[in-house]
Amino acid sequence: MKNAPKAIAFIGWHNSGKTTLLRQVLRELVQQGYRVGVMKSTKDESAFMDRPGTDSFLHRVDGASSVALIGPKEVFFRSDNLQEPFEDLKNRLFPDVNLVLAEGFKHVSHLPKIEVTRSAISTEPLRQHIPNVVAVVADYEVDFPVKFHFSQVPALVSFIRQFLQVNAL
């Protein structure tokens, strides 16, 4: 697909801060002039999209051009989940964005990932078992070549832009 948006995923244990961090990165990228889409994976069969207080609602408030919630049985946009490969789904749902931030999708092996980890939540590093982790955001010292603290959102955004080689608008 011509001009397909690049993507990077945020992965981590439940309540590690993935959504909060993704929202901060999203706002920073939007402020810099990027059109950003968000894809979120969920196992929750009773998930709701775009109700006040839900993550998808908050992503739109933060400036996402598009938001998709991928559930076990359906893709919110009210279409069936055809079990498309990540790239096909991303390109079909987000043709007009510069970048897609994904939450989850840890088993999409080719997708670059940022592990989000907190000492009080994370039982073991996902990066030891999940392919293509390119950076870690943690509230404690980690042994990884590229690491950030939760307070370093602008540096993380710079890393993401450089890593994905997203052209300035």
Each residue's pLDDT tens digit, 7-58: 999 999 999 999 999 999 999 999 999 999 998 876 665 555 567 888 877 8
In a domain, 151, yes or no: yes
The answer to whether 10 and 101 are in contact (CB under 8 A) is yes
- The tokens describing 102, both together, are 């994904």
Structural domain of residue 61, as residue ranges?
6-164
Taking only the tens place, the pLDDT of each residue in 81-104 is: 668 898 988 988 888 899 999 999
Q: What is the mean pLDDT of residues 111-122?
A: 94
In a domain, 169, yes or no: no
Q: Which of 134, 129, 123 is nearest to 7 (CA)?
A: 134
The count of structural domains within the chain is 1
In a domain, 156, yes or no: yes
DSSP state of 88: H
Task: Identify how many contiguous H helices and E strands the chain contains and give both numbers.
Answer: 4, 9
Please report the sign of the dihedral spanned by the C-alpha atoms of residue 119, residue 134, residue 19, residue 108: negative
pTM for this model (two decimals): 0.80
Side-chain half-sphere of 101: how many Cα atoms within 13 Å? 32
36/65 Cα distance (integer angstroms): 6
Side-chain half-sphere of 12: how many Cα atoms within 13 Å? 25
Please provide the size of the chain in residues: 169
Q: What is the CATH number of the domain that holds 55?
A: 3.40.50.300
SS3 100: strand
